[in-house]
Amino acid sequence: MQKIILFLFMLTTIYAAKISDVANVVGVRDNHLIGYSLVVGLQKTGDGTTSKFTLQSIANMLKAMNIDMESADIKSKNVAAVVVTAELAPFARQGDKLDITVSSIGDAKSLEGGTLLMTPLKGVDGKIYALAQGAISIGGRNEKGGSGASHPTAGLIYDGGLVEREISIDLYNQEYVTLSLRESNFQNSVSIQKTINQFYNTQVAVAMDSRTVKLKKPQNKSMIEFLAEVQEIDMDYSIKNKIVINERTGTIISGVGIHIKPIIMTHGNITIKITEQGDLSKPAGSMVVDNNMVIGLNENELYTKEGTTTVANLVRSLQKLGATPKDIISILETMKSAGSITAELKLI
């Protein structure tokens, strides 16, 4: 039986960060665009006859060019149906260029060497905001070391989009603006309020809730100047503890200060007991790993000194006892369910 004994320790971490790193200006954001089109010029790597929508799209395109042909008569494999996506940046103006992503939706084997036909890109309101067209870049090398990408059914067209319609955002004439925190946190919301008010020595910021801070620009500044200053102000930022686990690769990432509450649990042949103790005991036959860790060789017990009971320490201890990544992930998930770990557990 493997037995792990750890001792309780708590740590609160506050960092300095710029306001622009933790909050966005409401209304100033990217907008998603999407369109449907055809890629031509492929070397018999396009959609086959089973992709009926591709054949119908080809027939419709030819009909628009005064060439009347039924979709059943089309046998070309040099064309592929694709979905086209792009991000319209805030304050983008007519004539600005966008990077375009092209992805196959049929049974095409590759888009390499293809050219996207002119594609209208629409927003969520159904209006056309940009046009896309151009040669597709696959890039990279495949897994066997040859030319071509490992995912040849998707590609990019750099500067392949042209903005046709602008999204109006009038910040200059506004007197008020709202900041939205990227993560909901009352402490950080109040911290932004206090920091901005101290910087201007007047009441220009009000925390409305755990995620929203309303700002009123000073009389002697434009809104653009005001926001430029606000975004560069340093503030005390409380980071929400997280443990990120990639179940596919077995990767575990956590902050070094995420503490573990007292608990006793068993997983397979591993028994974990976390208690409070001030002195680090060193039983006979033990091996000192460092000043804060001792492994008992006879019973595979692990002892840690008070002030070192963290998730990072637990993971390192389990690894030294030969626990697999799957075992460690299961143990952390169980501890989270039992309330021994209060940090957010995120699986990817």
Cα–Cα distance for residue pair 244/39, rounded to 1 Å = 39
- Look at residue 280 in the predicted model and tell me its pLDDT: 52
Displacement of CA 156 from its chain's centroid (Å): 20
C-beta atoms surrounding 29 within 10 Å: 14
- Look at residue 296 in the predicted model and tell me its pLDDT: 47
Tell whether 216 and 282 lie within a shared domain.
no
The H-assigned helical ranges of the chain are 19-22, 52-64, 186-200, 223-231, 311-320, 325-338
Q: Which domain does 189 fall in, by range?
A: 15-27+170-238
- Look at residue 295 in the predicted model and tell me its pLDDT: 46
Tell whether 176 and 147 lie within a shared domain.
no
Tell whether 208 and 288 lie within a shared domain.
no
DSSP E strands in 136-183: the ranges are 154-163, 176-181
* 0.75 surpassed by pTM: no
Which residues are CB-neighbours of 218 under 8 A, at least 6 positions away?
200, 202, 204, 226
- Look at residue 4 in the predicted model and tell me its pLDDT: 44
3-class DSSP string for 34-82: EEEEEEECCCCCCCCCCCHHHHHHHHHHHHHCCCCCCHHHCCCCCCEEE
Q: Which two tokens stand for residue 222?
A: 């434009």
Count of domains observed in the chain: 3
- The mean pLDDT of the chain is 81
Tell whether 195 and 152 lie within a shared domain.
no
Tell whether 130 and 89 lie within a shared domain.
yes
Domain endpoint, select from 220, 238, 256: 238
Tell whether 127 and 90 lie within a shared domain.
yes
- Look at residue 275 in the predicted model and tell me its pLDDT: 61
DSSP 247: T
Tell whether 275 and 325 lie within a shared domain.
yes
Domain endpoint, select from 163, 189, 222: 163
Q: How confident is the model over 247-259, as pLDDT tens digits?
A: 777 777 776 667 7
Which domain CATH number covers 21? 3.30.1360
Query: Could you say which residues of the chain have pLDDT below 70?
Result: 1-15, 140-151, 255-257, 272-309
Tell whether 93 and 158 lie within a shared domain.
yes
Tell whether 174 and 139 lie within a shared domain.
no
Which residues are CB-neighbours of 46 under 8 A, at least 6 positions away?
39, 54, 76, 77, 78, 79, 80, 106, 108, 109, 114
- Look at residue 9 in the predicted model and tell me its pLDDT: 36
Q: Which two tokens stand for residue 158?
A: 């750099």
Cα–Cα distance for residue pair 108/96, rounded to 1 Å = 31
- Look at residue 143 in the predicted model and tell me its pLDDT: 42
